[in-house]
Amino acid sequence: MDTEVLQCITAIVPRIERFMEDRPELSPSWMQDFGRWLMSNETQAERSGDVDPPLMDALIGMHLVDIANRLRSRMNRFVSSSPFSTFMDYQFLYVVQEHEDMTKSQLIAANSMEMSSGIEVVKRLLGRGWISETSNPKDRRSKLIAITESGSQLVADHAESAASIYNSFSRDLSVDEKIRVLEALSLLGEEGPENPSHPETR
């Protein structure tokens, strides 16, 4: 097991045990409660100079996993009441509508997807007539993607529902708080050095 991962586990488990001793009946939002409890305790530790960096890393990771799970759940509910197969179907259509003259590779990169997965989305949208492709006059090896009338109508029909997914996490924040969140997320989004031991990075 990676040393850093082991350090995080070693740091976080005893604190979860103490938290559960204080609150034997956990609520469905126990992770958020634990985060607030932990931050309160760690703020006091910081003042005394006893900060545990691996614990902070673990806490950040736990929050990101929790947010990702809740986001996935809301996206699944959106898809279940729409003609889309995945939420990325809508996301691709929205991006194409907002940007003209995009190639397949540009569209996939704009949605931060692996090429193989992105191609599957493009094929599905083409098959349903929601996008079209034409030859790229600047590069015969690539195709330009455009949204069709039926695709535009789908975006319009589901825009409000999709927007509610995005703002459900931040609608109660002030403008200054949203700016701070965006700044923090931009730091988290910066890619670090690749891990040579990880097969996906080879």
pLDDT of residue 160: 93
pLDDT tens-digit profile of 96-109? 999 877 899 999 99
Average pLDDT of the chain? Answer: 80
For 139-183, what is each residue's pLDDT tens digit? Answer: 888 889 999 999 999 999 999 999 999 888 888 888 888 888 888
CA 167 centroid distance within chain: 13
Inter-axis angle of helices 30-47 and 3-22, nearest 10: 100
> What is the structure's pLDDT at 53?
65
Residue type, 183: E
pLDDT band at 202 (very low <50, low <70, confident <90, very high): very low
Domains and CATH numbers, the chain: 1-81 (no CATH), 87-162 (1.10.10.10)
pLDDT in tens, 49-65: 455 666 677 777 777 88
Q: Which residue has the higher pLDDT, 56 or 126?
A: 126
What's the rounded Cα separation, in Å, for the pair 44 and 37?
11
The residue among 140, 130, 133 whose CA lies nearest residue 102 is: 133
Q: How confident is the model at residue 36 (pLDDT cuts 50, 70, 90)?
A: low
Largest CA distance in the chain: 67
Q: 129 pLDDT exceeds 60?
A: yes
